[in-house]
């Protein structure tokens, strides 16, 4: 097997040498309709070198996503995570009001909506606030957003729409209004603070 591989490799190298010979090359190309790439040395062993295209694409994506403009900073507060997003370090500083509001939001959710909940991180962007989690006893995920895409979103699979579920949806909608009011004020104060610092 190894001999046939070496034989094929030597035949390929010989044909490359023959095709690179300028006098014969044109005649063979015309006769058989062959195309070769311009500027490629067909006798070079690097022609058959494997390229890791996946890695080069991943490297390019990493270069593009690591923009110097977009930064984020996460803070762990009483078992929850609050992430601030911004363009400079001053936008990534957590205030006492934001910390208290986040703690109150989690506590109020547990008291008013469901005590069986896994919270995801709360993201504060310059133009919107997003928060999500999973209500375990109903096996549904909720998503609150204010700013660009206001609303309450629910995600679940094969949810039984009985009275208990409808009551849960109403609790989520009612709590969302409280959430929206509290975090819209925080978002507005962040914008006001940013403008006065400039």
- Residue 124 β-bridge partners: 84, 129
pLDDT of 160: 84
Residue 176 lies in a domain: yes
- Same domain? 35 vs 95: no
Residue 64 lies in a domain: no
Helices 2-20 and 22-32: angle between axes, nearest 10 degrees: 100
- Same domain? 45 vs 143: no
**Whole domain around residue 12: which residue ranges?**
2-49
Task: Count structural domains, the chain.
Answer: 2
Does residue 43 contact residue 21 with C-beta atoms inside 8 Å? no
Task: Give Cα separations from 3 to 9, 10, 93, 144 (angstroms).
Answer: 10, 10, 68, 67
Total residues found in the chain within this entry: 198
CA-CA distance, 106 to 108, in Å (whole number)? Answer: 6
Residue 60 lies in a domain: no
Report pTM: 0.61
pLDDT of 36: 57
- Same domain? 110 vs 167: yes
Q: Which residues of the chain have pLDDT under 70?
A: 1-2, 18-69, 193-198
Residue 55 lies in a domain: no
């Amino acid at each position: 097997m190894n001999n046939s591989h070496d034989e094929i490799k030597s035949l390929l190298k010989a044909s490359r040498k023959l095709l690179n010979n300028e006098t014969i090359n044109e005649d063979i190309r015309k006769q058989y309709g062959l195309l070769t790439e311009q500027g490629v040395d067909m006798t070079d062993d690097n022609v058959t070198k494997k390229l890791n295209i996946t890695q080069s694409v991943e490297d390019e994506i990493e270069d593009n996503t690591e923009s110097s403009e977009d930064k984020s900073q996460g803070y762990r507060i009483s078992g929850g995570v609050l992430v601030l997003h911004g363009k400079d370090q001053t936008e990534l500083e957590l205030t006492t009001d934001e910390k208290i509001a986040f703690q109150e939001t989690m506590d109020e959710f547990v008291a008013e909506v469901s005590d069986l909940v896994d919270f995801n991180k709360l993201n504060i962007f310059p133009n919107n606030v997003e928060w999500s989690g999973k209500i375990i006893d109903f096996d549904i995920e909720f998503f609150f957003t204010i700013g660009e895409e206001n609303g309450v979103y629910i995600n679940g699979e094969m949810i039984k729409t009985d009275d208990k579920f409808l009551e849960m949806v109403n609790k989520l909608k009612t709590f969302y209004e409280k959430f929206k009011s509290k975090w819209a004020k925080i978002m507005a104060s962040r914008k006001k603070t940013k403008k006065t610092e400039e």
